[in-house]
Structures are given as C-alpha cells and as structure tokens.
C-alpha cells in the first residue's frame, strides 16, 4: 500500500517562506500554487528525478565537458493539491517555491 502524501503546509507559513526543502522519496501535497525544483551538484553520475502526481516529469544528470563540470537545475509550475516527489543520488535536492 502506498504512503499518503505529506501535507507540508501544516505548521509552515507557506506565504512567508521563500523555499521549502523536500525530503527524498517522500510525496508532498502542494499547499499552494508554486514551483517544484530539482537540483543535482557538479559530479559525475549524479542525477535527480521529479515526479508530479506519480508521473515522471523532470530528469536531470550532471554533465562534464572537458575540465568543466556543471550544476544542473530544473523547475516546473505546480498547482495547489498536486502531489510532488523527488528522488536522486546523494547531494541532489528538491524544493517547493510558493508563489508570493
């Protein structure tokens, strides 16, 4: 049986928060409209995946060109009530940014 999404709006003043860091592999119900963002640091073989309503909508992996390595980020707008979740390698992070 799947876990119920966490309502991370309870106990958090979402309108006053500039970003809310998510816990990997945990589903959250969006408390308001905003942006769902995933990030992976510059190191080979790092990746991050972003799910909205159980559909994989974002997938990024770190890149290296010659001696240059790049951090990567992806974000999409989400609506109140949507369920978001991210997963990835160590160092990857997911955030929810509420619209102000």
Nearest to 9 by CA among 100, 94, 98: 98
Which range among 7-21, 30-44, 76-90 has the greatest average pLDDT? 76-90
Q: Where are the domains of the chain?
A: 20-98
Q: Calculate mean pLDDT across residues 38-62.
A: 90
State residue 7's pLDDT score.
Answer: 63
Give the CATH number of domain 20-98. Answer: 2.60.120.40
State residue 15's pLDDT score.
Answer: 58
Lowest mean pLDDT among 9-18, 35-44, 49-58, 66-75: 9-18
Quote the CA–CA distance of 72 and 31 in Å, as a whole number.
26
């Amino acid at each position: 049986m799947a876990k119920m999404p966490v309502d991370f709006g309870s106990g958090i003043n979402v309108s006053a928060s500039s970003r809310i860091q998510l816990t990997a592999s945990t589903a959250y119900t969006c408390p308001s409209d905003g942006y769902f963002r995933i990030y992976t640091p510059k190191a080979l073989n790092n990746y991050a995946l972003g799910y909205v309503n159980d559909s994989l909508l974002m997938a990024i992996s770190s890149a290296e060109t010659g001696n240059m390595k790049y951090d990567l980020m992806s974000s999409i707008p989400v609506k109140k009530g949507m369920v978001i979740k991210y997963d990835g390698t160590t160092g990857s992070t997911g955030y929810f940014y509420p619209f102000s």
